[in-house]
Amino acid sequence: MQKCKRCKVTKERSLFNKDSRQLSGLRGECSSCEKDRSRNNRRTVKGLVFQMYRNQKRRSVEKGFSEPEYSKEELLSFCIGDLGFVTLYDLWVESGFDRMKTPSIDRLDDYSGYSFRNIRVVDWSSNKESGSEDTRNGLNNKRSKTVHQKRLDGSLIKTFYSIQQIHASSISRVCNSEGGNSVAGGCLWSF
């Protein structure tokens, strides 16, 4: 038996992952706490983007492309500065992290790799069939569905019919409709 450092519950040894660096041979946190922590991490903007980056690297190798032309930090800056992404991120949070609403990156040209010229943000909820894995990883060009942009109180600001439309709309217009400030993806947009 071992007491978990996080939830403080004493549990069977089998409920902890092994860790040879520890005297006990086990991790200090139980495996369900570890799972919880990594899920929470994947739900932050940084955790989500870094996960997407790892997927992009893996898929690049599988598809025979060179690795992404950007670093994971550069991809994070790109996403944070992209209104389409932060809007989708907010919708994902609002949905209680509905898997079908996870923001993702798509490649414009299926036949070339990951570069800022060749990626765009896409919501893959319209692709529930077998293509969804590919779409999430940017391997095909299926279009996204309607996106409703809402205030924090849930009232509708605007409905977008494509991500391209979100990109076309200026951040300042969205912010003006919010009364000067807009919280998106954990950022405050002020004009």
- Give me the DSSP letters along 92-138: HHHTTS-GGG-EEEEESSTTS---GGGEEEEEGGG--STTHHHHHTT
**4 contributes a contact to Zn ion by CB under 5 A:** yes
Beta-bridge partners for 3: 10
Distances (CA, A) of 93 to 32, 126, 183, 186: 22, 18, 13, 11
**33 contributes a contact to Zn ion by CB under 5 A:** yes
Query: What's the Rg (C-alpha) of the chain?
Result: 20
**147 contributes a contact to Zn ion by CB under 5 A:** no
Choose between 40 and 71: whose C-beta lies nearer to Zn ion: 40
- Number of residues this chain uses to bind Zn ion (CB under 5 A): 5
Per CB under 5 A, the list member of 26, 30, 75, 163 interacting with Zn ion is 30
Q: How far apart are CA 82 and CA 86, in angstroms?
A: 6
Choose between 16 and 89: whose C-beta lies nearer to Zn ion: 16
**7 contributes a contact to Zn ion by CB under 5 A:** yes
**183 contributes a contact to Zn ion by CB under 5 A:** no
Report in angstroms how near the CB of residue 32 gets to Zn ion at its nearest. 6
**48 contributes a contact to Zn ion by CB under 5 A:** no
**18 contributes a contact to Zn ion by CB under 5 A:** no
Q: Which residues bind Zn ion (CB under 5 A)?
A: 4, 6-7, 30, 33
